[in-house]
Structures are given as C-alpha cells and as structure tokens.
Amino acid sequence: MLFLDTNVLLYRISTDPKETRKAQIAERILQGKDMALSVQVLQEFYAQATRASRSGALRHEEAFELVRSWQRFPVQEITVLIMERAMVARDLWRISYWDAAVIEAARELGCVEILSEDLSPEQNYRGIRVVNPFLT
C-alpha cells in the first residue's frame, strides 16, 4: 500500500493552470486501489480545501463529499501510540510533528512508501521511503 500525504489530495482539486500536470498525476494516483490515508491527512485536506483565502476554495459539501469518497481507502486513526511515536520521530529526524505523524500513521498501516511533495524525496524513515510523484 502507498500512503498519501495531503498535497496529493490538494492537487486533485487544484484549478491553478500552473498545476495542471500535478492535478492530472493526483487524479491518476487516486484512481488506484492500494492507497491509504490517515484522519490527519483528511482533516488537513478539508481545512485547506475550504479555506476562504484559497483560490478555488471548495464549499463544505464538496470537500466533505471528497473526504467521504476517499474513505474507500484504509484510513488510520491517530491514536495515543501513534502520537507518541510521532513525537519520538520528530526528535530523531528533526522534522515537524505533523510530518512525523504522517510517517507513523503510514507505518501503523504497513505502508512502505509515502507519496508526498513535502517530505524529503527518497528519504528513508526506518523502512518507509518517501517518493515525490510530481517530480519530472
């Protein structure tokens, strides 16, 4: 399974002409079957997608429907154990807590790759590799 970071979901809804290629890539990724997410990723998507200052912001109903549709993939809840592991990972790799929580949610689901534009590409976090699907 591949774990999807929030930026993949946000590119899926992008209407920015400069992001057309990334939007197409995100669309193809989300048509796959072996994907996984976390509650955190879905929350971040909803918050960013509906932000009033966002160009092309979605209405609540649109964003909510997308969040529901992506629940067809396994979704990892954020547990106390994942939170504590993320705190350790944050300190170990000197990354943000939120990035560490994505990594640890992916680990909990048994994912070996995270598709992300935000995390360092090709970085290996104790068996979990980051791949930037938007690099040319």
Residue 81 lies in a domain: no
Residue 94 within any structural domain of the chain: no
Number of domains in the chain: 1
Whether 46 is covered by a domain: the verdict is: yes
Residue the block writes with tokens 């154990």: 81
Q: What distance in Å separates the CA atoms of residue 69 and residue 129, rounded to the nearest whole number? A: 26
Q: Which residue do the tokens 């929350």 mark?
A: 43
| Stated pTM of the model | 0.94
Give the CATH number, domain containing residue 52.
Answer: 3.40.50.1010
15 within a domain of the structure (yes/no): yes
Closest Cα to residue 132, out of 5, 14, 36, 1? Answer: 5
**Residue 88 domain flag:** no
* Structure tokens given for 49: 């997608």
Give 10-residue mean pLDDT values along the chain (136 residues): 97 94 97 96 98 92 98 97 98 96 97 92 89 88
Give the whole-angstrom CA distance, residue 103 versus residue 72. Answer: 20
pLDDT at 16: 92
Residue 84 lies in a domain: no
Chain length of the chain:
136
Question: Does residue 30 sit within a domain?
Answer: yes
Residue 101 in any domain: the answer is: no
- Which value, to the nearest 10 degrees, does the dihedral of the CA atoms of residues 75, 81, 84, 88 take? -80
DSSP state of 18: G
Q: Residue 118: give the domain boundaries.
A: 2-76+110-131
